[in-house]
């Protein structure tokens, strides 16, 4: 039995590759004025990510046999109706994520072919969005046929992207020794360059950092597979936090050697859209190996984005609709399966909702603006699912007589509830503030999208109840 258990170090690396990515370093760097983000990263890790990860450890320890993650935590601590909303939120958040994966995959393919960002941005927005919509429909069809040939590719691409992220840091720190005349940006580490300006722009961008560090609850089902879960799981979470913090800070310094924040602020949309590709292109130039690193990164990113697209269409939908406790709140039409065992109407709903975002963005002037909007929209919508983690934790601690997990984040009940409430408020505030944007179209998209998805989640149980009432009357 013990031979099948995984070491806590293995779990930490699994979680790290799930939570962290190169895009997080770039987004933090460009949204928070270069190396000034280091201060924000440290605050985010100390006051949010570490308690968040340790709370997940306690939840995972309390519900070792629950494989459903957040939904099962909510079900065990509250009611089936709230468990449905938790599952719905997890699925609904992926609607914006799916739209971004279609666009991101197309952008990555463009870089692999043309090796520049300018060509993609010269195409008419409506034409790019039309192709993006076609990609979405194609991958919805693949998911509807029960075909998931890209799952292994997604794992492979995710691993390779993780390796590329670490490689970027190592190679960038070595670059000045290899190529002293590379034209690196000089950095001054003092209070004026490291302490950010706490203005409206700063607070409305915090959702970017919350989005970056979230998601460690995905590996909670593995808690009962770790050797000595009460000690092993929290060890893995603490190690995860340390690894993410080190990579965020070192990655930021590496990027600071390469890009000038003044240039980024002057052409923000271009850096948001192309920054990660320029980073690997410049890295290749420093080492005199041309565009080889860029092409490898672009291909890995393209495969990763498109394979994750299929999984994001299929997996969150199954998590919601396969849940027996949630099914009573869902209309029967959405529970219909085709001959391949796929929830065909659910996939159609994904195609309509994600497709609507893609179509709406066809009126945006420039493909680079589309990608910027999707980055911000994801940072607003995706962290909403983390709210359920903290709600489950608060409910768990309030029901401490019923549940007695082997591992506790903190023993003191008051401190535990304060941390749970604090993380809930930080997440909610970041999402709400993140909705604001100087561009009215982006602002409207950030507000309307979560409102529509929330309304849909509320309406479905009403429809399901009417169906049951009608069945009773006709029986």
Q: Which residue has the higher pLDDT, 63 or 39?
A: 39
Q: Tell me the mean pLDDT in the region 4-10.
A: 81
Better pLDDT: 65 or 461 = 461
Q: What percent of the chain has pLDDT over 70?
A: 95
pLDDT of residue 307: 82
Q: Per-residue pLDDT for 3 more than 60?
A: no
Confidence bin at 91 (pLDDT 50/70/90): very high
Q: What is the pTM of this model?
A: 0.90
- Position 220 scores a pLDDT of 67
> What phi, psi does 283 have (nearest 5°)?
-60, -40
Q: Decide if pLDDT at 98 tops 60.
A: yes
> Which range is least confidently modeled, 222-236, 328-342, 374-388?
222-236
Reply yes or no on whether the pLDDT at 407 is more than 80. Answer: no
Q: Chain-wide mean pLDDT for the chain?
A: 89
Does 164 or 391 have the greater pLDDT score?
A: 391
pLDDT, residue 1, reads 41
The residue assigned the tokens 């039309």 is: 130
Confidence class of residue 150 from pLDDT cuts 50, 70 and 90?
low
Q: What is the pLDDT of residue 69?
A: 74
If we measure between CA atoms, which residue out of 309, 247, 251 comes closest to residue 280?
251
Record the tokens describing residue 191, joined without a space. 């209070």
Let me know if 362 is exposed, middle or buried by CB neighbors in 10 A (0-12, 13-18, 19+).
middle
54 confidence band (pLDDT: 50, 70, 90): confident
67 pLDDT tier (thresholds 50, 70, 90): low
The CA R_g of the chain, rounded to the nearest whole Å, is 22
CA–CA separation, 76 and 69 (whole Å) = 11
Q: Please give the pLDDT value at position 151.
A: 62
Residue written as tokens 């709400």? 432
144: left (phi over 0), alpha (psi -120 to 50) or beta: alpha
Map the chain to HEC letters.
CHHHCECHHHHHHHHHHHHCCHHHHHHHHHHCCHHHHHHHHHHHHHHHHHHHHHHHHHHHHHCCCCCCCHHHHHHHHCCHHHHHHHHHHHHHHHHHHHHHHHHHHHHHHHHHHHCCCHHHHHCCHHHHHHHHHHHHHHHHHHHHCCCCCCHHHHHHHHHHHHHHHHHHHHHHHHHHHHCCCCCCCCCCCCHHHHCCCCCHHHHCCHHHHHHHHCCHHHHHHHHHHECCHHHHHHHHHHHHHHHHHHHHHHHHHHHHCCCCHHHHHHCHHHHHHHHHHHHHHHHHHHCCCCCHHHHHHHHHHHHHHHHHHHHHHHHHHHHHHCCHHHHCCCCHHHHCECCCCCEHHHHHHHHHHHHHHHHHHHHCCCHHHHHHHHHHHHHHHHHHHHHHHHHHHHHHHHCCCCCCCCCCCCCCHHHHHHHHHHHHHHHHHHHHHHCCCCCHHHHHHHHHHHHHHHHHHHHHHHHHHHHHHHHHHHC
């Amino acid at each position: 039995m013990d031979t099948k258990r995984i070491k806590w170090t293995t779990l930490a690396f699994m979680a790290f590759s799930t939570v962290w990515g190169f895009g997080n370093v770039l987004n933090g760097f460009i949204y928070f004025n270069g190396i000034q983000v280091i201060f924000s990263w440290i605050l985010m890790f100390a006051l949010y990510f570490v308690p968040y990860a340790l709370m997940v450890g306690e939840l995972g320890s309390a519900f070792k046999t629950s494989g459903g993650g957040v939904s099962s935590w909510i079900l065990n601590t509250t009611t089936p109706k709230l468990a449905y909303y938790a599952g719905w939120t997890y699925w609904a958040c992926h609607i914006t994520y799916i739209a971004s994966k279609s666009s991101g995959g197309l952008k990555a393919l463009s870089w692999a072919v043309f090796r520049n960002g300018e060509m993609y941005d010269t195409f008419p927005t409506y034409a790019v969005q039309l192709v993006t919509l076609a990609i979405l429909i194609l991958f919805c069809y693949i998911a509807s046929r029960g075909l998931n040939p890209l799952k292994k590719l997604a794992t492979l691409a995710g691993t390779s992207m993780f390796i590329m992220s670490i490689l970027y840091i190592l190679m960038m720190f070595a670059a000045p020794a290899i190529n002293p005349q590379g034209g690196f940006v000089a950095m001054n580490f003092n209070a004026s360059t490291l302490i950010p300006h706490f203005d409206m722009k700063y607070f409305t961008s915090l959702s970017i950092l919350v989005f970056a560090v979230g998601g460690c609850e995905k590996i909670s089902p593995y808690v009962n597979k770790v050797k000595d879960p009460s000690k092993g799981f929290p060890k893995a979470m603490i190690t995860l936090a340390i690894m993410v913090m080190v990579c965020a800070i070192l990655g930021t310094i590496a990027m600071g050697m390469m890009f000038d924040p003044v240039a980024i602020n002057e052409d923000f949309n271009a850096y948001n859209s192309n920054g990660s590709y320029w980073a690997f292109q410049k890295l290749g130039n420093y080492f005199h190996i041309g565009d080889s690193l860029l092409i490898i990164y672009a291909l890995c990113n393209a495969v990763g984005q498109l394979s994750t697209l299929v999984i994001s269409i299929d997996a969150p939908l199954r998590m919601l609709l396969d849940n027996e406790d949630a099914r009573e709140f869902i209309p029967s039409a959405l529970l219909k399966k085709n001959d391949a065992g796929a929830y065909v109407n659910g996939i159609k709903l994904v195609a309509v909702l994600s497709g609507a975002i893609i179509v709406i963005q066809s009126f945006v002037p420039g493909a680079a603006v589309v990608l910027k909007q999707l980055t911000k929209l994801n940072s607003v919508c995706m962290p909403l699912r983390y709210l359920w983690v903290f709600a489950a934790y608060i409910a768990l601690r309030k029901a401490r007589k019923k549940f007695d997990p082997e591992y506790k984040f903190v023993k003191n009940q008051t401190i535990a509830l304060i941390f749970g409430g604090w993380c809930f408020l930080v997440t909610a505030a970041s999402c709400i503030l993140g909705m604001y944007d100087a561009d009215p179209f982006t602002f409207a998209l950030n507000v309307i999208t979560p409102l529509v998805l929330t309304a849909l989640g509320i309406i479905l149980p009403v429809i399901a109840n009417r169906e049951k009432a009608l069945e009773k009357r006709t029986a």
